[in-house]
Structure 1
Amino acid sequence: MAHTVRQKEKLIARIRRIKGQLEGVERALEAEAACAEVLRQIASVRGAVSGLTVEVMEDHLREHVLAAGTDAERRQGGEEMIEVIRTYMK
């Protein structure tokens, strides 16, 4: 996937922020923080993961569907995205 290589540093930085958020949830649980605080932190993690997912999906569509060189490549890129969406929606 060429687009993930081009965006590698940006994507890794997002992953590191998400890891930090997850560690924050872990610390909150260990510290027996209030449920509402833990839930807010979990919601933040979920939003961050969703944002990352959308970004990679968008890049995939742009690279492997919209900018595909052939109809076969476009079809393959579309089928890959359908599979990912089905998995994501479960």
Structure 2
Amino acid sequence: MPHTVKEKKPLLARVRRIQGQAAALERALEQESDCSAVLQQIAAIRGAVNGLMAQVLEGHLREHLGGDERTPQERQEDLEQVLSVLRSYLK
């Protein structure tokens, strides 16, 4: 995916923030923190993952479906691929 190479630095920054949030969640569970704090951390992680997914998905759509250099067949294949990923993500 060329678009992920172009956006490598911000994508890796997002992933590292998610890793930090997951580590904080693990610590909260190990320390038997209050349920509301654990739930808040889970919600933060979910939001961060959703943001990462949106950023990669947008890049993919722009790169593979937005350009004029793609044939209709290639666009259809890319569309089916994106739909398959979205179906599994939204389960």
Q: Which TM-score applies when normalising by structure 1?
A: 0.94
Give the Cα–Cα distance (whole angstroms) in 1 for the partners of residues 61 and 81 of structure 2. 10
| Other-structure match for 1:65 | 65
Task: State the identity as a percent.
Answer: 51
- In the comparison of the two structures, how many residue pairs are matched? 90
TM-superposition CA deviations, 1:2-61 (whole Å, max 9, x none): 000111111111100000000000111111110000000000000000110011111111
Q: CA deviation at 1:68?
A: 4.9
The more displaced of 63-72 and 31-40 is: 63-72
Does residue 27 of structure 1 match 2:27?
Answer: yes
Higher relative contact order (CA 8 A, sep 6+): 2
Q: How does 1:11-90 map to 2 (within 5 A)?
A: 11-69=11-69, 70-90=71-91
Residue type of the partner of 1:78?
L
- Structure 2's unaligned 5+ residue stretches are none
Structure 1 stretches (4+) deviating beyond 4 angstroms? Answer: none
| Other-structure match for 1:7 | 7
Give the Cα–Cα distance (whole angstroms) in 2 for the partners of residues 42 and 3 of structure 1. 29
Give the Cα–Cα distance (whole angstroms) in 1 for the partners of residues 90 and 33 of structure 2. 31
Contact (CA 8 Å) 1:68, 1:74: kept in 2 or not?
no
